[in-house]
Amino acid sequence: MIEWAKWTAIVMLGSSATAAVQQDPLAPLPIPVAMTVVRATTGFDSYKVQLANRARREGVREATLAANFPGLSLNSRVIGLDRAQPGAINNPNAYPPFAPYRREHVSASLIARGQARYAANAARLASIERRFGVEASVLMAIYGHETSYGSITGNFDLLPALATLAYEGRRRALFEGEFIAALKLIDRGTPRYRLKGSWAGATGYPQFMPSAVLRLATDGDGDGFANIWGSEMDGLASIAAYLREAGWQPNVHWGIPVRVPATLNRAALASRVVAPRCPPVYKRHSQWRSLREWRALGVAPNARTSGIGEDEQLSLIEPDGPSNTAYLLSTNYRAILDYNCSNFYALSVGLLADAIVRR
């Protein structure tokens, strides 16, 4: 069996390397000295050669490959968790109620801890809000929702987790790209031990995928470094950078709770647009109407509407069905959906944000 390092050299050097190995399998080849022996006894070993070759083509340093590929192995737990993900809803018109999810994710504990952090960091949060135009309470709510304010960030080793998901093949293009982005983070100077996170590859206080870390990690505490694993302010500023990139509009609130009259003609307001991303999520949203138009239809806000003007375009969602609290949603709600494409997630983030600042 040809050694892993020699095999990667064959991939890099082509037929001349192959001929050299055939003539003398023990002869040295121009390969990284730091590479250790890994025997290609499985399909995953063969896949690692392909993955390393792509990483080289995309500019990952050879020293980084040498340090991280030899011990790279499949993580069977990651495969099990990925395959256990819920599938499509059998009845697309039947949805679970939002209320139980809200109780768990807009809990008294999350509200109280968010309020304490918000008060303790008010000046720096205000600076981040001015810099990015994103409501600081929403940043804090995402931080609380994603990691319980930094207490749960995941302990999966990202490189084998991402390589496993790529090898599994269901979303190979996505996870190969994220794996290579993680290698580029190492090239950029991120310590290897930092690359821990969820089984699906999210890492740090914002729970970014590696490509988002490369693109959006931001210095929020003013020390000159963007450390989303050790600095809360860097994590919050990075979330702000993400939402701004996703289209967040300054001075527009995410949405407001409303009462919907029983007489509302919902069929006439149903959206006929098929969203290119997460269509079941957007299917639950109505057509756009201004707040003034919604009022004329009898849809009455349950709270003050600061941050939403009368001409602001809003869509309606009734997450618990008719006769329960509904919500009018601005374009900024859709920026939250870009962070995690789930109505329950985005609603709970908005409501937690409002509770943190007692809107």
pLDDT digits (tens, 9 = 90+) for 151-187: 999 999 999 999 999 999 889 999 999 999 999 999 9
Q: Is residue 114 part of a domain?
A: no
Identify which of 289, 325, 326 has the alpha carbon closest to the alpha carbon of residue 310. Answer: 289
φ/ψ of 197, rounded to 5, equals 175, -150
Q: Number of folded domains in the chain?
A: 3
**Is 332 exposed, middle or buried, given 0-12, 13-18 or 19+ CB atoms closer than 10 A?**
buried
- The torsion angle over the Cα atoms of residues 90, 91, 92 and 93, rounded to 10 degrees, is -160
Pair (222, 280) in one structural domain: no
Query: Residue 36 in 3-state DSSP?
Result: coil
Is the model's pLDDT at 70 over the cut of 70?
yes
Q: Which amino acid is at 223?
A: D
Pair (262, 205) in one structural domain: no
Q: Is residue 129 part of a domain?
A: no
Q: Are 162 and 201 in contact (CB under 8 A)?
A: yes
Confidence (pLDDT) at 21? 41
Tokens for 298?
């009898």
Tokens for 113?
């801890």
Identify which of 192, 170, 174 has the alpha carbon closest to the alpha carbon of residue 183. Answer: 192
CATH of the domain at 211: 1.10.8.350
Confidence (pLDDT) at 30? 45
Confidence (pLDDT) at 209? 98
Is residue 5 very low, low, confident or very high in pLDDT (cuts 50, 70, 90)? low
Q: Which amino acid is at 23?
A: Q
Model pTM above 0.75:
yes
Confidence (pLDDT) at 86? 65
Is the model's pLDDT at 33 over the cut of 70?
no
Is residue 265 very low, low, confident or very high in pLDDT (cuts 50, 70, 90)? very high
Q: Are 183 and 143 in contact (CB under 8 A)?
A: no
Query: Residue 328 in 3-state DSSP?
Result: strand
Q: Is residue 210 part of a domain?
A: yes
Confidence (pLDDT) at 287? 98
Identify which of 217, 173, 177 has the alpha carbon closest to the alpha carbon of residue 194. Answer: 217
In whole angstroms, what is the distance from residue 130 CA to residue 124 CA? 10
Tokens for 105?
């994710």
Beta bridge partners of 203: 197, 208
Is the model's pLDDT at 25 over the cut of 70?
no
Pair (212, 264) in one structural domain: no
Is residue 35 very low, low, confident or very high in pLDDT (cuts 50, 70, 90)? very low
Q: Is residue 266 part of a domain?
A: yes
Pair (216, 276) in one structural domain: no
Q: What element of type H or E holds 317? A: strand 313-317
Confidence (pLDDT) at 169? 82
Helices (H) and strands (E) in the chain, counts: 18, 7
Q: Are 104 and 97 in contact (CB under 8 A)?
A: no
Q: Are 289 and 336 in contact (CB under 8 A)?
A: no
Pair (222, 181) in one structural domain: yes
Mean pLDDT within 145-149 = 98
Q: Is residue 127 part of a domain?
A: no
DSSP-derived secondary structure for 113-176: HHHHHHHHTHHHHHHHHHHH---HHHHHHHHHHHHTTTT----EEHHHHHHHHHHH-TTHHHHH
Identify which of 115, 199, 104, 195 has the alpha carbon closest to the alpha carbon of residue 149. Answer: 115
Q: Are 156 and 81 in contact (CB under 8 A)?
A: no
Is residue 84 very low, low, confident or very high in pLDDT (cuts 50, 70, 90)? confident
Q: Is residue 136 part of a domain?
A: no
In whole angstroms, what is the distance from residue 195 CA to residue 157 CA? 6
In whole angstroms, what is the distance from residue 322 CA to residue 324 CA? 5
Confidence (pLDDT) at 225? 95
Give ∠ CA 18-73-166 in degrees, rounded to 5.
85
Q: Is residue 10 part of a domain?
A: yes
88 vs 101, residue with greater confidence: 101
φ/ψ of 154, rounded to 5, equals 95, 145
pLDDT digits (tens, 9 = 90+) for 251-264: 999 999 999 999 99
Residues 6+ away with beta carbon under 8 Å from 355: 106, 111, 114, 115
Query: Residue 314 in 3-state DSSP?
Result: strand
Confidence (pLDDT) at 342? 96
Pair (164, 222) in one structural domain: yes
Domain that residue 62 falls in: 4-73
Confidence (pLDDT) at 34? 37
Beta bridge partners of 157: 196
The percentage of residues in the chain with a pLDDT greater than 90, rounded to a whole number, is: 81
Q: Is residue 86 part of a domain?
A: no
Q: What is the CA radius of gyration of the chain?
A: 25
Is the model's pLDDT at 52 over the cut of 50?
yes
Is residue 22 very low, low, confident or very high in pLDDT (cuts 50, 70, 90)? very low
Is residue 305 very low, low, confident or very high in pLDDT (cuts 50, 70, 90)? confident
Identify which of 124, 341, 141 has the alpha carbon closest to the alpha carbon of residue 253. Answer: 141
Mean pLDDT within 295-309 = 90
